[in-house]
């Protein structure tokens, strides 16, 4: 797509939203500030017949579906935050998780045979119709020759071209924001867009997803908080992925949480602990944990599917995450502040004590409170304002972590509106702190750093004329400065917009 084509498609996306009255819906007119109300009424002059069909969430879902895979993923994220946007709005968007229109089974069969290089019957004894359809692929129920029930994921035809078009539009939008909206530059729109684009591109090779699923299956088995189906490698190709059938009911089904014997509190705790254990203990985590990718079974069993987006954290990032969470759990705001200054995330010209004071203002009102007692839109608005006050910038390399944190916290709220995020997090964080910050481990890390330094000096001695900056090139990626509810500046901006509209 040319630059002109991308610009035209960006305008087309705005036009779709306006025609559906999905940008600033009429139903919320009384809640808008005067300038926003004026803009809303102006845009509504261009609305079409679609604007009179359905609720705001239904109109937005319809619009995002037309706009393509990247837009649909945004809708999936919004659908997990009923606490911010309202339950009805979130439910109306939930169809974007796994209930999009499927493509014909005949096309799926042809793609599978081309990808595997052999007839369908050589792998499957039976192959059924689609059971779920999402933005990039759809899933079919099938039976292997040995009788095992499996799920077969198949990419949508020509989806690569659609993703490439979306990527160019998103990159263009990021450049326009970066150029014409100076206050938004600290949100690193270009870096954010690049991260989203890269993650989506990786989803287009299902061999990579199979490898990620296999790795996370091993990781999840160590703690038991969450499970992953076993990969059937003989049914894996670039455009097809076969896994054992996930046990339980899809969490996206309206009555999934009404299963007999289901312990909703334990289920919410398992979700939070599963994510934290993956991120802290292993540095790899499932980065797309919305309801459409989770199956539940009594009493508190969680099974994850769709491993197209995998997040990874380096050792420094894991340490910062653990120490920040532990600091909040201990209500030690001075310690949390010092960690951020040590990491360099907050510019040194600011005061450590002032930053600790700001963290206390965020943490104290929500510590130990059930999720139902924490107004997330107000918390995120406050966080957004504080990030600006202390000149904190978004870290693009942590976008997947922040996005997943936002999604997981929202899903846990839906499972158990009264769950305590702090109590759920504490065992996993305490275990990491006790293990990794023990004297023995600190000695081990010191020895490793010493060995690395000696090797670097040896290389310098061998190549005396090499430029110093090329000898040791280490970049420490800093962690987002917030507790569990700190979801990153870009996502906070989303809540800030919501708060502005609802004031």
CA-to-CA dists, residue 329 to 208, 373, 382, 399, 422, angstroms: 36, 18, 20, 23, 7
Sign of CA dihedral 163, 187, 11, 66: positive
CA-to-CA dists, residue 392 to 47, 266, 324, angstroms: 39, 36, 16
Looking at the annotation, which residues are catalytic? 288
Q: How far apart are CA 404 and CA 491, in angstroms?
A: 11
Instruction: State the CB neighbour count (10 A cutoff) for residue 318.
Output: 18
Contact 343, 335 (CB under 8 A): no
* Phi/psi at 149 (5° precision): -80, 135
* Phi/psi at 250 (5° precision): -60, 130
Q: How far apart are CA 34 and CA 3, in angstroms?
A: 36
Look-up: residue for tokens 């993703």? 163
Class of residue 99 by CB neighbours under 10 A (exposed 0-12, middle 13-18, buried 19+): middle
* Sequence-ordered list of residues with C-beta below 8 angstroms from that of 143, at least 6 positions apart, any chain: 124, 125, 126, 127, 149, 150
Nearest to 54 by CA among 63, 44, 43, 45: 63
Q: How far apart are CA 501 and CA 495, in angstroms?
A: 10
């Amino acid at each position: 797509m040319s630059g002109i084509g991308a610009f035209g498609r960006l305008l087309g996306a705005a036009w779709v939203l306006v025609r559906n009255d999905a940008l600033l819906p009429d139903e919320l007119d009384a809640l808008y500030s005067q300038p926003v109300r004026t803009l809303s009424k102006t845009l509504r002059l261009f609305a079409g017949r679609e604007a009179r069909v359905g609720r705001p969430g239904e109109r937005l879902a319809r619009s995002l579906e037309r706009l393509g895979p990247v837009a649909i993923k945004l809708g999936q994220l919004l659908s997990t935050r009923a606490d911010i946007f309202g339950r009805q709005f979130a439910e109306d968007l939930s169809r974007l998780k796994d209930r999009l229109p499927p493509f014909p089974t005949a096309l799926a069969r042809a793609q599978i045979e081309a990808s595997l290089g052999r007839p369908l019957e050589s792998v499957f004894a039976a192959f059924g119709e689609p059971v779920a359809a999402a933005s990039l692929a759809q899933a079919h129920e099938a039976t292997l020759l040995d009788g095992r029930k499996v799920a077969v994921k198949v990419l949508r035809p020509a989806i690569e071209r659609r993703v490439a078009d979306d990527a160019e539009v998103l990159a263009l939008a990021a450049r326009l924001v970066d150029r014409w909206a100076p206050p938004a530059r600290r949100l690193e729109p270009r870096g954010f867009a690049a991260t989203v684009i890269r993650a989506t591109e990786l989803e287009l090779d299902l061999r990579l997803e199979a490898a990620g699923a296999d790795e996370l299956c091993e990781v999840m088995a160590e703690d038991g908080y969450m499970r992953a189906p076993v990969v059937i490698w003989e049914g894996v190709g670039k455009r097809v992925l076969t896994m054992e059938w996930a046990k339980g009911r899809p969490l996206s089904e309206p009555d999934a949480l009404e299963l007999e014997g289901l312990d909703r509190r334990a289920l919410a705790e398992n979700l939070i602990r599963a994510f934290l254990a993956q991120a802290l203990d292993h540095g790899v985590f499932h980065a797309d944990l919305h309801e459409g990718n989770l199956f539940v079974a009594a009493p508190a069993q969680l099974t994850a599917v769709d491993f197209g987006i995998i997040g990874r954290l380096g050792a420094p990032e894991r340490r910062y995450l653990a120490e920040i969470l532990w600091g909040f759990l201990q209500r030690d705001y001075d310690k949390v502040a010092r960690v951020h200054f040590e990491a360099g995330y907050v510019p040194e010209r600011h005061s450590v004590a002032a930053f600790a004071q700001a963290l206390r203002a965020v943490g104290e009102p929500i510590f130990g409170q059930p999720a139902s007692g924490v107004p997330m839109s107000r918390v995120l608005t406050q966080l957004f304002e504080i990030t600006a006050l202390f000149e904190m910038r978004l870290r693009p390399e942590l976008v997947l972590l922040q996005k997943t944190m936002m999604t997981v916290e929202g899903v846990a709220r839906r499972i158990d509106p009264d769950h305590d995020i702090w109590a759920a997090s504490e065992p996993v964080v305490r275990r990491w702190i006790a293990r990794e910050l023990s004297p023995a481990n600190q000695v081990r890390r010191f020895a490793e750093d010493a060995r690395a330094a000696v090797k670097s000096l040896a290389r310098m001695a061998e190549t005396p004329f090499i430029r110093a900056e090329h000898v040791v090139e280490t970049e420490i990626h800093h962690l987002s400065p917030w507790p569990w509810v700190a979801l990153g500046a870009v996502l906070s901006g989303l809540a800030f917009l919501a708060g502005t509209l609802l004031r």
